[in-house]
Structure 1
Amino acid sequence: MTQIVIAVLANAGGVGKSTLSVHLAYEVSRHKYKVAILDLDPQRSLDVFCGLEAAEAENTTVKVLSKDFKGDWVLASAWNESRIEVCQGHPSLADIANDLVIRKRGEYTLADRLQKYPLSHDLVIIDCPATLGMLNVNALAAATHILVPIQLEMKAISGSAELVEWCINTSEELQLDPKPPILGFVPSMYDEAVAMHRQYYLQLPAIAKQLDIKLYPKIRSSNEFKNASAHGLPLHKYRTKHPACKDFKQIADDVIQLIKNK
């Protein structure tokens, strides 16, 4: 059966894509599954979240998407956890994206790499950039499922509906079969003390129902996420008993079920 590949997609920056990617990876790995995180973002925020030194371009996803890739994946262990490995990002991914536009099967490059040179991991998570360009098209073509983090403000919520439409239309244009379903919306950085957050959070169930997409429990806003990432750690390792560690459990449970059913 097909390997589970989850693209974490959003069409705006600062909505919690990397936070979701690394904490989902950690939560799934606690159940003895191997997880690879692929960083397609030129800003390479995963380096910070995973406590990794910046890598040279030839040791990153730039190499994976290059024409001369022969399956020599370079993966860095995250947090000294043998079950979590990262293929790091690099600023020159922006140049690779331009090259993919004119390359034959450019939209399918990542999917082709994962098929021809498969990773041994039970789960692959793709941390995507904030713009719906060629790198995100590659993530969509490679994905078996999609997760969409949503920040609780009007622009982000309306943008999420546009993202759903983009996923549907792009999947059709690429003739993906099957089309990767959206596993769910993930409300992120929720602060109970902010009236706007409470207001928009109340609107999300109706929006998700209209789009026929699952709505996951909110991931709370906490300075401890920032503190943890400043130390290059997931919250689970930085503050083991912090209540926000549980915010990722339902998503992880669903992903683990997908792994078991593959």
Structure 2
Amino acid sequence: MIKIAVYSLKGGVGKTITAANLGQLYATHRTKRLPGTKRGSLRRVLLVDRDPQGNLSQYFNRYSDGPLEDHPIGTDWAWLDILPGNLSLAAQEDAALDVDRYADQYDLCLIDCQADLGKLTAGAIRCADYLIIPIRLDAFSTNGLSNLMQQLENLQEAAIDARVLGVLVTHDEKTPYSDAIKKLLRERLPLFDTTISRSKWVSESTIEHKPLAEIAGPDKKHPLRPMTTRPAWQYRKVFNEMADRLSNLDKGGKQ
């Protein structure tokens, strides 16, 4: 089981949307196959909500104010399960996260972290093999890059071994400075070539509690056909980039 934490210390950058949609696309066989997933596998995915706000749980209509389940529960999509989160996470004295006990049940685990390098986030990152870091360029600068690099250095000093699989630009739109910032990022970190456009469909997805791949898009000829919105295809391309990078690492390549 490959474990990936979606991490950023800034809120509003699309961590939950990213974890939810990458997981749902894989579970519904819309992407390349990850290394380690057997050919013909059901592509079983475990989502983990480690934010006391429970946004990932709300996205899939699996939020509850009551005691948290200590085992994964199903979503509306077969082979896509979730370990829910709610405010009771904040009171946990032991924030260690152990998903390895489910390693035989799932091919991929995606962990949605809160925007705070507290015990919950640290526990999630310690559990993960890789990190995906979403960022918004409209809230980014050269100082933002320095802060991000410092955060990653702090993780290394804390003996956290998770590797940065990719930095993902979200809410993307063309501005006078966007290309320059992407160039800076690419020089220092493995930036995904694909970006997620600023789009009303992302907000629509959150409101409807429905993954982007299932949103009825602007194609009037096929209003109920899935995968009709641009962000759905962009997340598919991001996943395929991710799969290629993992395959390269699996073969001993450098990332």
* Normalised-by-shorter TM-score class: 0.7 to 0.9
SS at match of 2:109: strand
The aligned residue for residue 129 of structure 1 is 114
Q: How does 1:93-112 map to 2 (within 5 A)?
A: 93-96=89-92, 99-100=93-94, 109-110=96-97
Structure 1 position 190, deviation (Å): 1.8
Q: How does 1:106-255 map to 2 (within 5 A)?
A: 109-110=96-97, 113-116=98-101, 118=103, 120-155=105-140, 158-159=143-144, 161-174=146-159, 176=160, 179-192=161-174, 198-239=175-216, 240=226, 241-255=228-242
Q: Provide Cα deviations, 1:49-74, integer angstroms capped at 9, x if missing partner.
A: 21224252331xxxxxxxxxxxxx42
- Seen in structure 2, the aligned counterparts of structure 1 residues 259 and 114 have a Cα distance that, compared at 3 Å, is farther
**Matched-pair contact (CA < 8 Å) for 2:167–2:189:** no
* Structure 2 segments unaligned to the other structure (5+ residues): 30-41, 217-225
Larger RCO (alpha carbons 8 Å, 6+ apart): 1
Q: For 2:142 and 2:236, how far apart are their aligned partners in 1?
A: 23
* Structure 1 segments unaligned to the other structure (5+ residues): 60-72, 101-105, 193-197
Q: For 1:119 and 1:40, how far apart are their aligned partners in 2?
A: 21
RMSD: 2.4
Q: Which has the higher helix share?
A: 1
Structure 1 position 16, deviation (Å): 0.5
- The answer to whether residue 66 in structure 2 is matched with residue 56 in structure 1 is yes
User: How many percent of aligned residue pairs carry the same amino acid?
Assistant: 22
Q: TM-score, normalised to structure 2's length?
A: 0.79
SS at match of 1:229: helix
Structure 1 position 173, deviation (Å): 2.2
Structure 1 segments, 4+ long, off by >6 Å, are: none
Q: For 2:181 and 2:140, how far apart are their aligned partners in 1?
A: 13
Q: For 1:56 and 1:216, how far apart are their aligned partners in 2?
A: 41
- Seen in structure 2, the aligned counterparts of structure 1 residues 84 and 243 have a Cα distance that, compared at 3 Å, is same
Q: For 1:76 and 1:118, how far apart are their aligned partners in 2?
A: 15
- Seen in structure 2, the aligned counterparts of structure 1 residues 154 and 235 have a Cα distance that, compared at 3 Å, is closer
| One of 21, 24, 38 as aligned partner of 1:23 | 21
Count of aligned positions: 227
SS at match of 1:167: helix
The aligned residue for residue 86 of structure 1 is 82
Structure 1 position 153, deviation (Å): 2.0
Structure 1 position 158, deviation (Å): 3.9
Q: For 2:20 and 2:115, how far apart are their aligned partners in 1?
A: 17
- Seen in structure 2, the aligned counterparts of structure 1 residues 114 and 171 have a Cα distance that, compared at 3 Å, is farther
- Seen in structure 2, the aligned counterparts of structure 1 residues 133 and 199 have a Cα distance that, compared at 3 Å, is farther
Moved more, 13-22 or 201-210: 201-210
Structure 1 position 184, deviation (Å): 1.1
The aligned residue for residue 219 of structure 2 is none
**Matched-pair contact (CA < 8 Å) for 1:50–1:229:** no
